[in-house]
Amino acid sequence: MSLLFSMDCASFKDVKEHGGHYYTASYSRLTFQEAMNMSNRIDGYLAIPNSSDENRFIASMIGKGKIAWIGIYDPFNSSNYCYSRNRCAFDDGRFRTVHRRPLSYKNWTITQPDNFVDKYDTIKGKKQVSILGEHWVAMSGSNGKWFDDGEHKKDYKTVVKHIAIFEFDEQPECYNESDAGSNISFQRKKCNTLVRDRAASFGSIGKTYDCKIDHDGVDYCPLNMEECKTVYTTQDQNATQDQNATHICRSAPARKCAHIGNKWLCSPFPCASTSNISNSGQYIDGVDRSNNGWNDKGKCLGKIRIFNGRAYKCREQDIFAGLIDGGCCKKENMLFGMAKCQAEEKDLISRTESGLCHYIGKFCSKSVNFGAGELCIEKSKTSCCFNSKLARIFQEQGKPKLGKNWGSAENPDCKGFTPEEFQKLDFSQMDLSEFTRDIRNPNLRNIGNSIKNKIQSNVSKLKQ
C-alpha cells in the first residue's frame, strides 16, 4: 500500500499509459541503486521492455540524445570481465529483470554487453571503484538500443548517473487521466464565470464551460442565462411580429441573443475562442533553431555558445485552467494535487530546486479581447535554466561585466557566451563559493581560471 504523498509528482515527468501499464521518467540523474530505491518508494519498478513495441515506447519516454536506466541488471555481479574492447565475450546470460526473471526480449547494441573494466579501474591489482565491471543496463533514447554500464575511474569520478524510466502495473497517484488543467484548448469556444466583456478576475477559481450554438448559429454561454429585452418596430407593415422585433442582451448590449426554445436569451459571460485569444512571449532559447550546429562527422558548423541556457515558463495564474495561489510555479500545488501542470512546468520546478535557474520576472502570457480592450486571463513567470549550477553562476556574474542583460519576462535572453565574449571574462574576480561548497577541497584561487582554460581548449577543438 502506498504511503501518503510517497510520490513527489514534481520530481517526475508526465505519467503516460501504454499497453495497460503506466510509465514516467525522473528529472534527476541517479545511480542505478538510487533508481532502484526510488522505484520501491513510489510502488513501481524500473521499466522492463518485454517487446519491440514496448521498447520503442520506452525510448520515446527517454528522448533523443539521452540515456536512461531500465529494469535489467546483473544481480550476481559476474566476473567475466572484458579488459580489452577487442577481446570480449558478449554473454547476456548473467542478466535478469528487476523481478529476477530471465529476459524475454533483448535489444543490445552491437558488441554489448561486455562487462568492461577500464585500465584505470584497477591499479596494481587494487580496484579503484566500488564494483568492477558493468552490471546495470541503460537504454539510448535515440535508437532504443541497450548497453551495460558501470563505474569507471576516469575524469576524477567513478559514479555513473542517468535518468530512470519507471513502470507501474496500476495507475500511480501522479497520473492525470484527463489532464484537464494542464492546457486549455480554445478550438471550441469557452466561457468562465470570472471573465466578463470588460473585466477578468484573479484570486479565486471560476467555472469553465463549453459554449453552445443555437439553430441560427449564435454562440452563447449556457450559464446564468437571462431573458433579453425585446423592442418592437412598425417600419414594415407586412413583416411578422418576430421580424419587427429587436432583442437586446440586458447585461451586455453588444452581444447577440440566442434563440432557445421560444425565448431569446443571453448570458453575462462572453465566449472566448482562438479568434480573440492572444499569447504573449517569444522565447529566445539561445539555440538557433535554423542551425542545429553539427554535421554528420561531428564538426560544429554553427555558432558556438558557452554556458548556453533555455527559457522556461510556468503559469502562476490561469483563469480558464483554474490555477491560483502560485499555480504551476509552486511545488506544493502539484505535490498535493491542487494543480495539473505541463511537463515543462514540472521540469522548471525541479531545475529551480537544483539551483540551475535564474528567475527573470512575470508577465501576462495570455489575454482575450471581446472588443473593449485586452483582458489578461493568464499570468506566467519566466526563468533561464542551465545544465549545471556553475553555468548559471557564470552567466549571472558574466552578463553584467559584458554589458548584457537577461531580456524581459516576455522575451528572455538565455543565450550562452560567444568564444569572444568568454575570452573577456576574468574568472579570478568571480565569486564561486556557491559552487565550491558542493565539492571537496576546492582550490578557490585557481578553480575559475582552470575551468576557463579547459573550456577554451575544448572550443578550439570544435573549431578545427
Cell of residue 132, nine digits = 568492477
What pLDDT does residue 294 have?
41
**Residues 453 and 325 placed together within one structural domain of the fold:** yes
**Residues 281 and 422 placed together within one structural domain of the fold:** yes
**Residues 427 and 319 placed together within one structural domain of the fold:** yes
Q: How far, in Å, CA of 271 to CA of 197, rounded?
A: 9
In a domain, 184, yes or no: no
In a domain, 185, yes or no: no
DSSP bridge partners of 140: 67
Residue 337's region, left for phi above 0, alpha for psi from -120 to 50, else beta, is left
Q: 46 pLDDT exceeds 80?
A: yes
**Residues 162 and 199 placed together within one structural domain of the fold:** no
Q: How far, in Å, CA of 369 to CA of 423, rounded?
A: 48
- Average pLDDT (114-123) is 87
Contact (CB, 8 A) for 409 and 363: yes
Look at the chain and count its residues: 464
Q: Among all chains, which residue has been given the C-alpha cell 527573470?
A: 360
Q: How many domains does the chain have?
A: 3
Instruction: Among 211, 236, 266, identify where a domain stops.
Output: 266
**Residues 378 and 257 placed together within one structural domain of the fold:** no
- For residue 22, give the nearest of 182, 166, 178, 179 by alpha carbon: 166
Instruction: Among 242, 266, 290, identify where a domain stops.
Output: 266
Q: 134 pLDDT exceeds 70?
A: yes
Distances from the Cα of 38 to the Cα of 223, 460, 461, angstroms: 47, 41, 40
**Residues 6 or more apart in contact with residue 97 via CB below 8 angstroms:** 48, 71, 72, 103
Q: 180 pLDDT exceeds 50?
A: no
**Residues 29 and 83 placed together within one structural domain of the fold:** yes
- Average pLDDT (80-100) is 85
In a domain, 204, yes or no: yes
Q: How far, in Å, CA of 399 to CA of 197, rounded?
A: 43
**Residues 216 and 321 placed together within one structural domain of the fold:** no
- pLDDT band of 296, cuts 50, 70, 90: very low
- Average pLDDT (211-227) is 92
Percent of the chain beyond pLDDT 70? Answer: 78
DSSP string, 234-254: -S-TTS-TTTTEEEE-SS-TT
- Average pLDDT (85-108) is 89
Work out the end-to-end distance of the chain between its first and last CA atoms, rounded to an integer number of angstroms.
58
Top-confidence residue, 181 or 234:
234
> Residue 416: which domain range?
277-463
In a domain, 439, yes or no: yes
**Residues 200 and 320 placed together within one structural domain of the fold:** no
Top-confidence residue, 181 or 354:
354
Q: Find the range with the poorest average confidence among 133-147, 278-292, 414-428, 438-452.
A: 278-292
**Residues 232 and 326 placed together within one structural domain of the fold:** no
What pLDDT does residue 102 have?
96
Contact (CB, 8 A) for 113 and 119: no
Taking the CA of residue 234 as centre, how many other CA atoms within 13 Å lie in the half-sphere pointing to its CB? 0
- For residue 313, give the nearest of 374, 242, 363 by alpha carbon: 363
Q: Among all chains, which residue has been given the C-alpha cell 448570458?
A: 267
**Residues 126 and 248 placed together within one structural domain of the fold:** no
**Residues 6 or more apart in contact with residue 184 via CB below 8 angstroms:** 190, 208, 318, 320, 321
**Residues 261 and 292 placed together within one structural domain of the fold:** no
In a domain, 420, yes or no: yes
What pLDDT does residue 179 have?
40
In a domain, 177, yes or no: no
What pLDDT does residue 4 have?
33
**Residues 6 or more apart in contact with residue 38 via CB below 8 angstroms:** 26, 30, 164, 166
DSSP string, 125-158: TEESSSS-S--EEEEETTT--EEEE----BTTB-
In a domain, 29, yes or no: yes
What pLDDT does residue 450 have?
61
- Average pLDDT (220-224) is 91
- For residue 380, give the nearest of 414, 411, 416 by alpha carbon: 411
Q: What is the mean pLDDT of the chain?
A: 82
**Residues 203 and 290 placed together within one structural domain of the fold:** no
Q: Find the range with the poorest average confidence among 65-69, 117-121, 409-413, 444-448.
A: 444-448
What pLDDT does residue 387 have?
86
pLDDT in tens, 74-84: 999 998 888 86
Instruction: Among 223, 239, 266, identify where a domain stops.
Output: 266
What pLDDT does residue 239 have?
47
What pLDDT does residue 10 have?
64
pTM of the model: 0.57
In a domain, 179, yes or no: no
